Amino acid sequence: MSETPDPSWSSTDPGTKRTYHHPIHPDGPADRAMPVMVVRGVRDGATLLTLAGVHGDEYEPMAAVQRVFAALDPTTLSGTWVAVACCNVDAYLAAGREGPVDGLNLARVFPGTPEGTLTEHVAHCLTEDFIRHASFLCDLHSAGRIFRMVPLAGYIMAEPELTTIQRDAARVFGLPLVWGTAPNEGRTLSAAYAHGVPAIYCETTGAGGCRDEDVAAYAEGLRRLMIHLGMLDGHVQPPPDQRLVEDPTPESGHLQVKNVTPVDGLFRPAVDLYDKVAPGDLLGRVTDLFGNVTFECRTDTVGTVILVRHLTRVNAGDSLAVVIDMDQTTTRR
């Protein structure tokens, strides 16, 4: 497990694990190189790519891949597990969702370009050096500093055969909610789709923290995914109480466009995660600094609150909450 400047994860010896820093490009800033963990099994098998830190303030994914790397025994593994332990180092160093160098959202610029700014370089490097070589992508996120969120595994709904592969993997990961949505441009999942690599993403609590139960659920989800992909021995089933929601309407996967405040101010939620709401119910209020209510946010849909704004200060255009209808569930076994 030595630190080595070798940029190629694929040259890891069978039955070993190691870490190294992967340069964004040959002339890229060394202090923004991506920390990579590789565990190569003793037998051939799938290559599972796991991404953490696409957004720099999402800590549960970073802690979860550390836990899996420490625990995973290469002599029990078939194939290769590759984890980028922090994709967006510039954002991580600033404790922000986006990095200060260009302010771009890494989850909107895939597949990236070698001609662009730092974040576009990172997307290009992830696409070319990692995603296109994987047999499965699992991109781990959380609600970060700004939101808190119900743990979920998501996927895009594309061709039926690919959708089935992705849905099955998302279900087996084991989180309480599984969410299929329309494809979006610019995501890691879009880059995976372009290269024919099945993919899921996950979200969890965030709220500026790193709850141990969320880290444990992610680490266990990755272990379950490896079993599902034939990389570890065992047998896994989705949990019986899991909810499956599929919404193929355009923009369905865009969280930050719903229940948006038109004004700046202080947001105080009136609901919490898992609350059931009906059209007209209050989700929260925005006030000015004198306490005057400047915006009342009410839901226009029936459903369950899956995301709530956590950071109190809001700017006009910020999303305050997301409600989805979990009861139009089709739970498949």
CA 256, 55, 215, 95 dihedral sign is negative
CB 192 within 8 A of CB 169: no
Q: Which is nearer to Zn ion, 96 or 198 (CB)?
A: 96
Q: Please report whether residue 223 would count as binding Zn ion according to CB under 5 A.
A: no
Nearer to Zn ion, 58 or 98 (CB): 58
Q: Which is nearer to Zn ion, 59 or 136 (CB)?
A: 59
Total of residues contacting Zn ion (CB under 5 A): 3
Q: Is residue 187 at the binding interface for Zn ion, with CB under 5 A as the rule?
A: no
Residues 44-83 that bind Zn ion (CB under 5 A): 55, 58
Q: Binding of Zn ion at residue 285 (CB under 5 A)? A: no
Work out how close the CB of 12 gets to Zn ion at its nearest, in angstroms, rounded to a whole number: 27
* Closest to 128 in 3D by CA, of 37, 225, 253, 9: 9
What burial class does residue 108 get, using C-beta atoms within 10 Å of its C-beta: 0-12 exposed, 13-18 middle, 19+ buried? middle
Does 32 bind Zn ion (CB under 5 A)? Our answer is no
**Separation between Cα atoms, residue 204 and residue 162, nearest integer Å:** 24
Smallest gap from Cβ 47 to Zn ion, in A, equals: 23
Of 143 and 286, the one with the shorter C-beta distance to Zn ion is: 143
Q: For Zn ion, which is the closer residue by CB, 229 or 273?
A: 273
The least CB distance from residue 285 to Zn ion, in Å, is 27
Closest to Zn ion by CB, 60 vs 129, is 60
Residues 121-150 that bind Zn ion (CB under 5 A): 141
What span, in angstroms and rounded, lies between the C-alpha atoms of 8 and 129? 8
Query: Alpha-carbon distance 207 to 138, whole Å?
Result: 22
Using the structure block, give the residue that is written with the tokens 């569930």. Answer: 329
Give me the least distance between CB of 328 and Zn ion, in Å please.
26
Relative to beta strand 265-269, strand 282-287 is antiparallel
Residues 9, 132: Cα–Cα separation, whole Å = 13
Which residue number has the CB closest to Zn ion? 141
Token pair 């296109």 in the structure block, residue: 132
Residues in contact with Zn ion by CB under 5 A are 55, 58, 141
